[in-house]
A and B are shown apart, each in its own frame.
Chain A
Amino acid sequence: EAQVTQNPRYLITVTGKKLTVTCSQNMNHEYMSWYRQDPGLGLRQIYYSMNVEVTDKGDVPEGYKVSRKEKRNFPLILESPSPNQTSLYFCASSLLNRGGEQYFGPGTRLTVT
Chain B
Amino acid sequence: SQQGEEDPQALSIQEGENATMNCSYKTSINNLQWYRQNSGRGLVHLILIRSNEREKHSGRLRVTLDTSKKSSSLLITASRAADTASYFCATDNDYKLSFGAGTTVTVRA
Contacts and interface: CB of A to CB of B under 8 A. Distances in A.
Interface of A: 4, 31, 33, 35, 40-45, 48, 50, 56, 58-59, 88, 90, 92, 98-107, 109
B30 to A, nearest CB: 5
Given A98-B30, A99-B48, A102-B97, A59 B1 contact: yes
A44 B45 contact: no
A44 B4 CA distance: 11
7 contacts: A42-B102, A43-B43, A90-B43, A98-B30, A99-B97, A101-B45, A105-B42
Nearest to A100: B48
Contacts of A44: 2, 99
Nearest to B102: A42
Interface of A is mostly: strand
Contacts of B102: 42
A92 B40 CA distance: 15
Contacts, number: 68
B42 A90 contact: yes
Interface stretch (B12-20, B71-79, B88-96): B88-96
B69 interface: no
Contacts of B41: 106-107
Given A99-B33, A103-B45, A42 B96 contact: no
B101 A42 contact: yes
Contacts of A98: 30-31, 92, 95
A101 B48 contact: yes
A48 B96 CA distance: 8
